[in-house]
Amino acid sequence: MNRRRVKIIIASFILAAAMTFLVVAGVQQTSMRHFTPDALVAHAQEVHNRSIQVDGLIAEGTTQWDPTAFKLAFAVRDRDGKAKVNVIYANKLRPDNFKDGGNVFVQGKYNASENLIVATKLQTKCASKYEAADGMTAQTGGADTSDY
């Protein structure tokens, strides 16, 4: 093998290794683990100061909204109410359908010592929005014509 071919093979190997390293490092930094509140509390120390996602219900009586500072504080609970995680969502508007007991998806950085998520993304879910109204069919979206 000539010397030029050896240099090309070595350079290709170094380039492939560098690209692999960058892809792995990028995926680790941008990937987030998804939790329910009870699972987050159970794995709190392992995800301390890391970006996470939590899906649960807005705990009743925990909502505090400051419209002048655009600061929303509340707790997310799991379905059986055993675990709660506190959330602060600042410098953003409060979602229109945000209400106690409603479904919520929170993304942000978790502080295990305070059991607190500083949210960067907050999304509410409204299941009733997709249910058929009385007298409507789910398939057509029109009036129920079974009596005609």
Overall number of domains in the chain: 2
pLDDT per residue as tens digits for the range 75-109: 999 988 889 999 999 988 888 888 999 999 999 99
pTM: 0.66
Q: Are residues 81 and 104 in the same domain?
A: yes
Q: Are strands 33-35 and 51-58 parallel, antiparallel or unpaired?
A: parallel
Residue 143 included in any domain: no
What pLDDT was estimated at residue 142? 46
Residue 135 has pLDDT above 60, yes or no: no
> Can you list the pairs that 124-130 forms with residues at least 24 positions away whose Cβ atoms lie under 8 Å?
124/95, 124/97, 124/98, 126/97, 126/102, 127/103
Alpha carbon distances (Å) from 48 to 7, 40, 104, 109: 45, 10, 21, 8
| Domain CATH number, residue 39 | 2.40.50.140
Residue 119 included in any domain: yes
pLDDT per residue as tens digits for the range 10-33: 999 999 999 988 888 777 666 678
At 134, is the pLDDT very low, low, confident or very high (cuts 50, 70, 90)?
A: low
Q: Are residues 54 and 13 in the same domain?
A: no
Full DSSP string of 26-64:
HHHHH--EEE-HHHHHHTTGGGTTSEEEEEEEEPTT--E
Structural element, H or E, at residue 119: strand 116-125
Residue 141 included in any domain: no
Q: Are residues 38 and 108 in the same domain?
A: yes
What pLDDT was estimated at residue 108? 93
Residue 135 included in any domain: no
Tell me which residue range forms the domain holding 54: 32-130
